[in-house]
């Protein structure tokens, strides 16, 4: 599935197809720094997207969209001037650059001559991505999902499936000489089902994807697999009892429960909150923030993963960043602005939703590394607790550190055995404290199936999460049962 396409392809798109010459980029950067300012960047983006939906076994929706534009940013100390335009004519770009320039007040900065072209790695396919596939082939995926979910059980009464993909081309040119481009494919298959048994109704969802070619959805990640998973979850929920309420031992299954890591520590380690000292993790580098069994990384270099990027949205190659090592807080996730203000280097974590949004430090694929415990031993060690294997979303207040995540599939553990399924419940904890209660870490690290989206300040970006089976000695579970 890997492709050895090199960066000139991405570059050619903007230069030849959209007429953006290096000379024009230099002129725009010159205008952007015409009122002083230490740094300016241009971010060209072109996104084509397709969305297909099946509902009641009918293909009810099909849409395609094209969005093209450029965001221009000027940094002056801690100040950011930003503007964007969807008109890429040279007049418009130069005018936008002059608008962004006004954040600074000083003599014009001389632009360093020439760009250094950053080579683009090849973590995902460019030619041969799902966006190149025939639309009828994509349609087959959701039709197969619909059929498989309905075949699972006669009590599956409603099935909706959607296939969404996009091809995002970017080019970043900056006054520090950065010149990088990338083509980023992204695909996602989603299934939503309703099960009904008498007066009892339940929902189930599943899906998967990544920066992949269409053949990703053959074999183990087939539409049938995801459809049966959605149907299984819904059927299970039909028989679920009330979740317990209060503090108890909690075991999290491998994979998607890694959303715990994303909320409990990930956001709190984004550098913007830490340089402003508005995060509960500010000033804790080198300190114990988790049990010694916990090591957490954010890794943007995993091939084909939803959260991966060859280069971030500032043109910096992504990397594997160790956030917590054996329980000790090691580092923050930085973009160019926060790195400059904190006197470090960018960790390749500068991301933005689109050319219309301002870059911030963000996560890519964030996960906890495997430990040495056997998952079955972890379950056996619990007298009375909750075993949560799947989650909906989560949320965190980075200032006081409180975070929640909502279990969508969970079971009671009684005397070391997984017993009844329970209804969904929200789990709540405190970021800098929660992971200190990790007492066992399984040897079964898994990443999620590739459907995660992270929101911050109104901007959504695709991310991945993961973890092995983990036992927390205490956590508050928000059920209705006693």
Residue 277 makes contact with another protein by CB under 8 A? yes
Length reported for the chain: 482
Closest separation in Å from C-beta 392 to another protein: 5
Q: Shortest CA distance to 329 belongs to which of 361, 294, 364?
A: 294
What's the alpha-carbon Rg for the chain, to the nearest Å? 24
Residue 85 makes contact with another protein by CB under 8 A? yes
Per DSSP, the residues of 236-293 read HHHTPBPPBEEEEEEEE-SSGGGHHHIIIIIGGGBHHHHHTT-STTTT-TTSB-S-TT
The DSSP letter of residue 381 is T
Phi, psi of 419 (to 5 degrees): -110, -105
Tokens of 114: 């020439």
Only segment of 177-185, 195-203, 215-223, 411-419 that touches another protein (CB under 8 A)? 195-203
Binding mask 356-375 for another protein (x = CB under 8 A): x-x-----------------
Residue 424 makes contact with another protein by CB under 8 A? yes
Residue 68 makes contact with another protein by CB under 8 A? yes
Residue 439 makes contact with another protein by CB under 8 A? no
Residue 425 makes contact with another protein by CB under 8 A? yes
Only segment of 29-37, 180-188, 289-297, 427-435 that touches another protein (CB under 8 A)? 427-435
Quote the CA–CA distance of 195 and 226 in Å, as a whole number. 16
Residue 247 makes contact with another protein by CB under 8 A? yes
When the beta carbons of 122 and 133 are compared against another protein, the nearer one is 133
Residue 61 makes contact with another protein by CB under 8 A? yes
Residue 284 makes contact with another protein by CB under 8 A? no
Residue 17 makes contact with another protein by CB under 8 A? no
Sorted by sequence, the CB contacts under 8 Å of residue 133 that are 6+ apart come out as: 213, 214
Q: Is the dihedral of CA 347, 447, 171, 96 positive or negative?
A: negative
Among 116, 287, 292, 395, binds another protein (CB under 8 A): 395
Q: Other C-beta atoms within 10 Å of 69: how many?
A: 18
The DSSP letter of residue 127 is T
Q: Shortest CA distance to 23 belongs to which of 114, 133, 130, 132?
A: 114
Only segment of 315-323, 364-372, 413-421, 473-481 that touches another protein (CB under 8 A)? 473-481
Only segment of 20-28, 94-102, 370-378, 410-418 that touches another protein (CB under 8 A)? 94-102
- Residues 124 to 163: which contact another protein by CB under 8 A? 135-136, 139, 157-158, 160
Residue 90 makes contact with another protein by CB under 8 A? no
When the beta carbons of 279 and 304 are compared against another protein, the nearer one is 279
Q: How would you classify the pairing of strands 459-467 and 365-368?
A: parallel
Among 2, 6, 12, 60, binds another protein (CB under 8 A): 60
When the beta carbons of 69 and 209 are compared against another protein, the nearer one is 69
């Amino acid at each position: 599935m890997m492709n050895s396409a090199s960066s000139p392809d991405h570059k050619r798109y903007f230069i030849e197809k959209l007429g953006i010459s290096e000379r024009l980029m230099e002129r725009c950067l010159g205008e952007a720094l015409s009122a002083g300012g230490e740094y300016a960047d241009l971010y060209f983006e072109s996104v084509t997207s397709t969305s297909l939906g099946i509902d009641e076994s009918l293909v009810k929706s099909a849409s395609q969209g094209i969005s093209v534009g450029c965001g221009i940013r000027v940094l002056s100390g801690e100040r950011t001037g930003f503007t964007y335009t969807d008109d890429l004519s040279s007049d418009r770009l130069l005018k936008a650059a002059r608008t962004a320039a006004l954040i600074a007040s000083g003599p014009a900065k001389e632009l360093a001559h020439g760009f250094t072209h950053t080579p683009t790695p090849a973590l995902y396919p460019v030619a041969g991505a799902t966006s190149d596939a025939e639309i009828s082939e994509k349609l087959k995926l959701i039709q197969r999902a619909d059929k498989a979910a309905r075949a699972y059980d006669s009590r599956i009464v409603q099935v909706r499936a959607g296939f969404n993909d996009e091809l995002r081309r970017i080019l970043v040119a900056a006054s520090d000489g950065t010149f990088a481009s990338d083509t980023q494919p992204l695909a996602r298959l989603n299934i939503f089902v309703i099960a009904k048994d008498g007066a009892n109704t339940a929902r189930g969802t599943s899906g998967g994807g990544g920066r992949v070619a269409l053949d990703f959805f053959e074999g183990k990640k087939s539409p049938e697999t995801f459809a049966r998973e959605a149907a299984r979850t819904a059927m299970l929920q039909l028989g679920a009892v009330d979740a317990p309420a209060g503090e108890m031992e909690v075991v999290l299954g491998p994979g998607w429960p890694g959303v715990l890591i994303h909320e409990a520590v990930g956001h709190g380690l984004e550098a913007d909150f830490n340089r402003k000292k508005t995060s509960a993790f500010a000033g804790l580098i080198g300190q114990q923030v988790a049990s010694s069994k916990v090591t957490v990384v954010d890794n943007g270099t995993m091939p084909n993963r939803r959260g991966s990027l060859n280069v971030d949205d500032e043109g910096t190659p992504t990397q594997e960043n160790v956030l917590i090592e054996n329980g000790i807080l090691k580092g923050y996730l930085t973009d160019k602005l926060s790195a400059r203000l904190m006197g470090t280097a960018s960790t390749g974590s500068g991301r933005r939703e689109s050319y219309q949004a301002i870059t911030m430090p963000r996560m890519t694929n964030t996960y906890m590394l495997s430990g040495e415990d056997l998952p079955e031993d972890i379950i056996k060690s619990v007298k009375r607790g909750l075993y949560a294997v799947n989650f909906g979303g989560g949320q965190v207040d980075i200032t006081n550190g409180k975070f929640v995540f909502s279990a969508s599939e969970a079971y009671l553990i009684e005397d070391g055995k997984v017993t009844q399924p329970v209804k969904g419940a929200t789990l709540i904890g405190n970021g800098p404290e929660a992971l200190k209660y990790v007492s066992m870490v399984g040897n079964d690290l898994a990443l999620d199936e590739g459907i995660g989206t992270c929101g911050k300040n109104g901007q959504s970006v695709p991310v991945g999460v993961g973890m092995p089976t983990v036992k927390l000695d205490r956590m508050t579970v928000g059920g209705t049962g006693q």
